[in-house]
Amino acid sequence: MRLRYPAPMHEEDDDSALFRAAVGKVDPLRIDATPPPAKPRPRPAVRREAEPSGPGGMAGLLAESPDAVLLRGDASAFRRERVNARDWQRLRRGQFSAQDELDLHGANALEAELLVARFLGESRDAGFGCVRIVHGKGGADGVPVLKNLVDRLLRQRGEVLAFHSAPPAQGGTGALLVLLSRR
């Protein structure tokens, strides 16, 4: 069935009339004098790398405060007490060769969590000492979701001795070099 419209008297009048007929009766918007409350924005986390805290070793601000977040350019860093200063410096400079890599681009948080757990288990079983995890720098409002997720996950894993953001040539703050304990 085809809809038929009456022939317009004037082209401009016809468009306006059709629009008014399609929309129907409308009520004007009420304008309140008070604006809506602003959404809270996360504050940048202050990262510390040189202070030992508790039995877990070098716990950064993320481990101390669940509300703290890393922003796009922030470096991720974590070190257990049993990692010596020389190895920590080598890791920070990117002087360890990554023996395997996991790229999380395109993964959602749940997929990333499963992929990281499987990757770390397989890497440790294979006897790898250092691996790279690429989480990317993207996220909503400058807060990279996967970066913060991976940072928190790695701190909880017993086989992770230390991790640090990769040097710029290896992914910078969008990737991590991870030292693993031997089996």
The mean predicted confidence, pLDDT, of the chain is: 79
Centre a 10 Å sphere on the Cβ of residue 15 and count the other Cβ atoms it contains: 11
- In CATH, which of 3.30.1370.110, 1.10.1370.10, 3.40.50.720, 3.40.50.1860 is domain 72-180? 3.30.1370.110
Chain segment 103-153, per-residue pLDDT in tens: 999 889 899 999 999 999 999 999 999 999 999 887 767 778 888 899 999
Asked whether the predicted pLDDT for residue 47 surpasses 80, the reply is: no
Helix residue spans in the chain (DSSP H):
11-23, 61-64, 85-93, 109-125, 145-156
Buried b or exposed e, range 49-88, using 16+ CB within 10 angstroms: eeeeeeeebbbbebbeeeebbbbbebebbbbbeebeeebb
